[in-house]
C-alpha cells in the first residue's frame, strides 16, 4: 500500500462517516464502525501527521466505546410465530415439498411450502416486527393497544380479501426505483429500514446481498397453519388468546427494495428495504404486536446454537413461569430430534441445547425428573427480563 491508496481509503471512510445522521451514536452501526476503525489503524503510518485523520479515528473510537457500553440491542419477539411455526430444515424440505404437522392446540393439519424455516427466519420476524412497532409508536414502543381484528369473523373477512390466489394490487414490486417510491396509504401496514439497521439489531455481520437473500427467503415461504391471535374481550378489559385456522396459504410479508451504493462491477453494497404486511399471516402477526403479544429478546440470543434458540422460543420465551416441566417426548417432537438412541438424544439435548442457555442466563438450572409418561425436564427460569438488565433498549430514529 502507498500513501495515495491510504488516502483513498481514508476519504471513503470519512464520506461514509459524514453521512451518518446526528447524534451519530444513535444512528451508527457498531459493526461498520469497528471495521472502519480497523482500516484506519492499518493506514495510520501514512496519515499520522494528518489532523483530520486523527480527529476522525478519535471520533470513531469514542462512538465505539459508547456503543459497547450500551451493550447489544433489544427487539420484540411476537409469540404467535414462536408458538405456531415449526422449524423446518432445508435438508428435509425442497421448495416444492409440502411439509405437514398437527397443531398442538387444535389438532388440525398445518402446512408449509415453497421454502424452509430456521433460526434466521425467526430473527427476521423479530426485527422487522420491532421496526414496525417503533414506527407506529413514533420512535418508541406504542403505549396503547390498537388491534386490527375484533374477532374471528373479521379475520376471516380479511383473509378472503387477501386471498393469495388473487393478485393484490398493493403488492410491492421486488425492485423499487428511487424515482418511483411506493405511495403508501395511511392504513397500509409497512415499515422501511436499511442494511445498517438490520445488522445493528440482529448482530449478524451480513453483506447487503446476504440480507436481501434472507429477507426474500423469509417472505416467500408459504403457510397454512393454526395461529394464536390475541382477541380483546369485555370492552377492552380482558385479552384472550384464541387459535385461528387459516383457510389459505399465506406468506409472512411482501418485500421491495431500493439498490444503493452500487459498485462499478454491479455489486450492490447498500439497500433500503420496504416490508409490507399485506398478507393474512402478516396482518395477524402485527395484530398480535399491536396488542402487546410479545416478549423482549436481546440480539446476544441470536448467537447461541440453533437448537438452543429453537428450544427457548418453542418452550420458554412466551410465559412468565419460574419453573417449567416438559416431557422428553414433547421436547423430541417440538425440536424434531431424529436420534432414536435415548442416551445420545439426552446428551445432545443437555450439552448442545440446555447448557448454552444456562451459560447465557436464560435458564437458571435444569434436572431430569421421573414423570408418569417417562423422563421429564424440570427447568428453573430467572425472573422475566433479568437477563436483559445489562442491555439497553434503544429506539429507531
What pLDDT is attached to residue 94?
57
Q: Is the pLDDT of residue 283 over 70?
A: yes
Of residues 175 and 350, which shows the higher confidence score? 350
Q: Are residues 255 and 328 in the same domain?
A: no
Alpha carbon distance 191, 306 (integer Å)? 27
Residue 314 is assigned to a structural domain of this protein:
no
74-78 and 294-298 strand pairing:
antiparallel
Q: Does residue 395 belong to any structural domain of this protein?
A: no
Q: What is the pLDDT of residue 391?
A: 45
Whether residue 78 is found in the same domain as residue 60: no
| Structure-model confidence comparison of residues 2 and 168, the more confident one | 2
Do 262 and 333 reside in the same domain of the chain? no
Average pLDDT over all residues of the chain: 86
pLDDT at 37 over 60: yes
- For residue 250, cis peptide bond before it (omega within 30 degrees of 0): no
Let me know if residue 209 belongs to a domain. yes
215 — pLDDT class (breaks 50, 70, 90): very high
Domain limits at 350?
323-388
Is the same domain home to 157 and 231?
A: yes
Closest to 319 measured CA to CA, from 79, 41, 96, 70? 79
Percent of the chain exceeding pLDDT 90 equals 51
Coil, helix or strand for 273? strand
- Residues 65 and 78 grouped into a single domain: no
Residue 310, in any domain of the structure: no
Looking at the fold, whether 260 and 130 belong to one and the same domain comes out as yes
Q: Mean pLDDT throughout 122-149?
A: 93
Domain stops at, among 70, 93, 119: 70
- CA 79 to chain CA centroid, Å, is 12
307 domain residue, yes or no:
no
Of 115, 260, 100, the C-alpha closest to 193 is: 260
Residue 317 lies in a domain: no
Q: Which of 70, 103, 123 is the last residue of a domain?
A: 70
Whether 396 is in a domain gets the answer no
The pLDDT of residue 23 is 62
Tell which wins on pLDDT, 9 or 170.
Answer: 9
Residues 247-269 have pLDDT tens digits of 999 999 999 999 987 777 778 88
Give a yes or no: residue 15 inside a domain.
Answer: yes
Q: Say whether both 292 and 339 belong to one domain.
A: no
Which residue's entry shows cell 440480539?
299
Kindly state whether residues 79 and 222 are assigned to the same domain.
yes
Query: b/e for 87-111, b at 16 or more Cβ within 10 A?
Result: bbeeeebeeeeebeeebbeeeeebe
Asked if residue 132 and residue 239 are part of one domain, the reply reads yes
d(CA 142, CA 149): 17
Rounded CA gap, 116 and 127, in Å?
Answer: 19
Q: Which residues pair with 238 in a beta bridge?
A: 233
- Whether 151 and 53 map to the same domain: the answer is no
pLDDT of amino acid 109: 93
Query: In terms of domains, do 295 and 327 share one?
Result: no
- Residues near 34 by beta carbon (within 8 Å), at least 6 away in sequence: 64
- Per the structure, the count of domains in the chain is 3
Q: Is residue 169 over pLDDT 90?
A: no
pLDDT of residue 393: 38
Contact 131, 122 (CB under 8 A): no
Residues 132 and 148 in one domain: yes
Identify the domain boundary among 243, 271, 302.
Answer: 302
Place of cell 445498517: 196
Distinct helix (H) and strand (E) counts, the chain:
15, 13
pTM value is 0.78
Length of the chain, in residues = 397
* Grid cell listed for 167: 393478485
Amino acid at each position: 500500500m502507498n500513501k495515495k491508496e491510504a488516502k483513498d481509503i481514508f476519504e471513503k471512510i470519512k464520506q461514509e462517516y459524514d453521512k451518518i445522521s446526528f447524534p451519530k451514536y444513535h444512528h451508527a452501526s457498531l459493526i461498520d464502525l469497528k471495521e472502519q476503525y480497523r482500516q484506519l489503524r492499518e493506514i495510520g503510518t501514512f496519515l499520522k501527521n494528518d489532523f483530520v485523520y486523527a480527529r476522525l479515528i478519535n471520533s470513531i473510537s469514542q462512538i465505539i466505546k459508547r456503543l459497547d457500553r450500551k451493550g447489544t440491542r433489544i427487539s420484540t419477539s411476537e409469540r404467535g410465530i414462536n408458538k405456531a411455526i415449526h422449524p423446518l430444515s432445508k435438508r428435509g424440505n425442497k421448495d416444492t415439498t409440502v411439509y405437514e404437522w398437527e397443531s398442538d392446540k387444535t389438532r388440525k393439519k398445518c402446512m408449509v411450502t415453497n421454502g424452509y424455516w430456521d433460526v434466521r427466519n425467526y430473527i427476521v420476524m423479530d426485527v422487522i416486527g420491532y421496526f414496525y412497532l417503533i414506527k407506529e409508536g413514533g420512535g418508541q414502543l406504542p403505549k396503547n393497544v390498537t388491534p386490527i381484528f375484533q374477532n374471528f369473523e373479521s379475520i376471516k373477512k380479511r383473509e378472503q380479501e387477501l386471498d393469495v390466489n388473487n393478485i393484490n394490487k398493493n403488492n410491492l414490486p421486488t425492485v423499487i426505483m428511487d424515482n418511483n417510491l411506493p405511495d403508501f396509504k395511511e392504513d397500509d401496514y409497512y415499515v422501511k429500514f436499511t442494511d445498517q439497521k438490520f445488522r445493528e439489531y440482529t448482530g449478524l455481520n451480513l453483506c447487503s446481498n446476504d440480507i436481501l437473500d434472507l429477507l426474500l427467503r423469509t417472505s416467500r415461504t408459504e403457510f397454512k397453519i393454526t395461529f394464536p391471535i390475541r382477541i380483546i374481550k369485555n370492552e377492552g378489559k380482558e385479552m384472550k388468546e384464541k387459535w385461528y385456522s387459516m383457510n389459505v396459504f399465506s406468506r409472512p410479508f411482501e418485500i421491495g427494495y431500493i439498490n444503493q451504493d452500487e459498485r462499478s462491477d454491479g455489486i450492490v453494497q447498500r439497500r433500503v428495504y420496504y416490508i409490507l404486511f399485506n398478507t393474512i399471516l402478516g396482518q395477524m402477526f402485527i395484530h398480535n404486536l399491536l396488542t402487546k403479544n410479545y416478549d423482549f429478546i436481546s440480539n446476544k440470543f441470536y448467537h447461541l446454537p440453533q437448537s438452543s434458540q429453537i428450544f427457548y422460543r418453542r418452550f420458554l420465551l412466551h410465559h412468565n413461569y419460574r419453573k417449567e416441566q416438559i416431557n422428553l417426548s414433547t421436547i423430541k417432537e417440538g425440536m424434531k430430534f431424529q436420534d432414536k438412541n435415548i442416551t445420545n438424544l439426552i446428551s445432545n439435548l443437555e450439552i448442545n441445547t440446555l447448557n448454552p442457555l444456562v451459560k447465557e442466563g436464560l435458564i437458571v438450572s435444569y434436572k431430569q425428573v421421573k414423570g408418569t409418561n417417562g423422563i421429564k425436564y424440570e427447568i428453573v427460569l430467572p425472573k422475566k427480563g433479568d437477563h436483559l438488565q445489562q442491555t439497553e433498549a434503544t429506539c429507531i430514529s
